[in-house]
Amino acid sequence: MDMKEINLETNKKITTGFQIPEGYFDDFSEKILKELPQKETKTISFYARNKMLIYTAAAVLVVTLSLPLAYQLEGNHEQPSAAEIENYLTQQSPISEDEIVNLLEQEDINKLKITNSISKADLEEELYLNTELEKYITN
């Protein structure tokens, strides 16, 4: 063959000439598969994968659990009794009696009725002594 006439498109194909060892591919996939788990042992543990989540959950838990304790420590002083509040309001507060009456709800009035129920005799005596009241009632 004349060397000057080499044409890659028309001439017989020139192969690479590379040889592969006999049986090379027979066990290649097995070797690779054995190799894979070792290379893949970088499996991320549950802890590592969820580290941030675990830390966040722990932080939330600590805060939640310490809230009642903090509340208890903070609010450890004794609550004033109802009588003390009443006394304070009458003596110290600039709020007038009328204003307090206006703030009373129906429920509070009912309670007052029970505790301060007026006997019939007292009522009659009051009506007898205070004639003007009769006018209010009849009106």
Partner 1 sequence: MQEEKNFIKELIDPRTQNTAFQKLLREYQKPLYQIIRNIVIDHDDAHDVLQNTFIKVFQNITKFKGDSKLFSWLYRIATNEAITFINNKAKRSKLTSTELQSKLVDNLQSDVYFEGDEIQLKLQKALVILPEKQQLVFKMKYFEELKYEEISEILGTSVGALKASYFHAVKKIEEYLNSN
**Whole-number Å distance between alpha carbons of 83 and 89:** 10
Residues contacting residue 137 through CB under 8 Å, at least 6 positions apart? 127
What is the nearest approach in angstroms of partner 1 to the Cβ of residue 50? 18
Structure token digits, residue 47: 């802890």
Number of residues counted as binding partner 1 (CB under 8 A):
27
Binding status of residue 75 toward partner 1 by CB under 8 A: no
Q: CB 54: neighbour CB atoms within 10 A?
A: 13
Q: Which of residues 2-31 bind partner 1 (CB under 8 A)?
A: 3-9, 13-21, 24-25, 28-29, 31
Q: CB 100: neighbour CB atoms within 10 A?
A: 14
The mark string for 34-73 relative to partner 1 (x by CB under 8 A, - otherwise) is -xx--xx---------------------------------
Q: Residues in the site for partner 1, rule: CB under 8 A?
A: 3-9, 13-21, 24-25, 28-29, 31-33, 35-36, 39-40
